Amino acid sequence: MRLRLPLRRPAALALAAALAASAAGCGSGGDDWSDPRPAPSAIGTLQPGFVDPSAPPSPEATITPRPGSWDDVHPSAGYRVALLRAGNDAPTETLAAAVRDWADAEEASLRTITLSDGDDPAAGAERAMAMKPDLIICIGHDLIDPLVTVTAHYLDQQFLVIGAELAEPTGNVTAADWAGASFRGEGLGMSSGYDPASFTPERAGRAVRAGVAAVLTGWRGIVVWID
């Protein structure tokens, strides 16, 4: 006797497809992050003016690289980036768009974790680390204080904070910041110099590229100041 299975309705098929897409994550390219591959590396070199190798910056120092001195540095093929974001304000949306644009241009594999109101930022960071990305890019002021604790316990994972800084970063946390954005947490509230208008697409794009270039070339645990 042949069994007849009920046909799936279009709505059920659509739901199944949506769940599958959600489980796979959001990203560029076809990398599902399951296959082993060589450690990532920097393609290209920094131009003069990014940092002075004869006088390297100390941990937690701030450097102000010459504009464009990072343009020749790119990630190797298959670079995996997790974007961890909190908030839906205009500056955060601008930063998220800059990260997506960078990933598309570099053909990096990007997945995004978006935290909603009430979500635990530390748990969100652990979700990002569970993906085993090459780099976790963090945007949104609500992440800053929780990251201080999380990043100190996972020194093998590289983090890049855009548009803010950790007050006492460990060597695995790099920041890209500028006047008008330098939020540092510690319960101090918003800096008096905070200016949402300073989060322009052009400046956000430069910050992402300069920050990633610093991480790729080993200048980590510092603040990359963007004029």
Say if 36 falls within a structural domain. Answer: no
- Domain of 108 in residue numbering reads as 58-225
Say if 81 falls within a structural domain. Answer: yes
Residue 77 gets the label, from left (phi > 0), alpha (psi -120 to 50) or beta, of beta
pLDDT in tens, 175-227: 999 999 977 655 544 555 789 999 999 999 999 999 999 999 999 999 999 98
Q: What are phi and psi of 74, to 5 degrees?
A: -135, 155
The residues near 71 (Cβ < 8 Å, ≥ 6 apart) are 47, 209
Please report the pLDDT score of residue 223 as a whole number.
95
CATH code of residue 108: 3.40.50.2300
Say if 168 falls within a structural domain. Answer: yes
Q: Who wins on pLDDT, 4 or 198?
A: 198
**Count of the separate structural domains present in the chain:** 1
Please report the pLDDT score of residue 138 as a whole number.
98
Say if 9 falls within a structural domain. Answer: no
Q: Using DSSP, state whether 62 is helix, strand or coil.
A: strand
Q: For residue 100, is pLDDT > 70?
A: yes
Q: For residue 2, is pLDDT > 60?
A: no
In this prediction, residues 79-108 reach a mean pLDDT of 97
Say if 116 falls within a structural domain. Answer: yes
Q: Binning pLDDT at 50, 70 and 90, where does residue 117 land?
A: confident
Please report the pLDDT score of residue 20 as a whole number.
36
Say if 8 falls within a structural domain. Answer: no
Say if 139 falls within a structural domain. Answer: yes
pLDDT in tens, 13-67: 333 333 333 333 444 445 789 888 888 999 999 999 999 988 999 999 999 999 9
Please report the pLDDT score of residue 227 as a whole number.
82
Q: Using DSSP, state whether 132 is helix, strand or coil.
A: coil
Say if 47 falls within a structural domain. Answer: no
In this prediction, residues 58-81 reach a mean pLDDT of 96
Q: Who wins on pLDDT, 157 or 15?
A: 157
Among candidates 111, 100, 73, 66, which has minimal Cα distance to 214?
A: 73
The residues near 98 (Cβ < 8 Å, ≥ 6 apart) are 162, 201, 204, 205, 207, 208
Please report the pLDDT score of residue 219 as a whole number.
97
Please report the pLDDT score of residue 63 as a whole number.
97
Please report the pLDDT score of residue 21 as a whole number.
37
